Amino acid sequence: MTVLKSQQLEEFWHGLVNSGKPFLWVVPANLTAGCRIVTELIEGSGNKRGKVVDWAPQEEVLSHPATGGFLTHGGWNSTLESIYEGVPMICWPFYADQQVNSRLVGRCGGLEST
């Protein structure tokens, strides 16, 4: 599991809120490494378009007709599930097979973040 810095989480949150689009953000408790920034931002934002949860059934979310895109770490299971459901991916790899998988997705028409 990758742990993000509080600054990264805060920037990501602001990007989601400022996008003007509805979103689902899955933030496992251990992702924040004890940081309360996400909870504080969510509770104080008055955000009505998005939902933040600590877990979601990924295959069900990807198969939902309202899902327009998927920011993924590029793990093999996530990549295959997204391809199967025809959901465009933005890959944000961290380690292991995620780098190679993300490059493959990028070469096949997806977006790759390095």
Structure tokens that stand for 96 in this block: 């292991």
Same domain, 50 and 77: no
pLDDT digits (tens, 9 = 90+) for 23-62: 998 887 776 555 566 666 666 666 678 888 889 999 999 9
In this prediction, what percent of the chain has a pLDDT beyond 90?
34
Does this model's pTM top 0.85? no
pLDDT value at residue 65: 97
Same domain, 4 and 14: yes
Range of the domain at 104: 57-114
Residues 6+ apart with CB under 8 A from 112: 91, 93, 102, 103, 105, 106
User: What angle separates helix 98-107 from helix 76-85, to the nearest 10 degrees?
Assistant: 30
What total of structural domains would you count in the chain?
2
Same domain, 87 and 75: yes
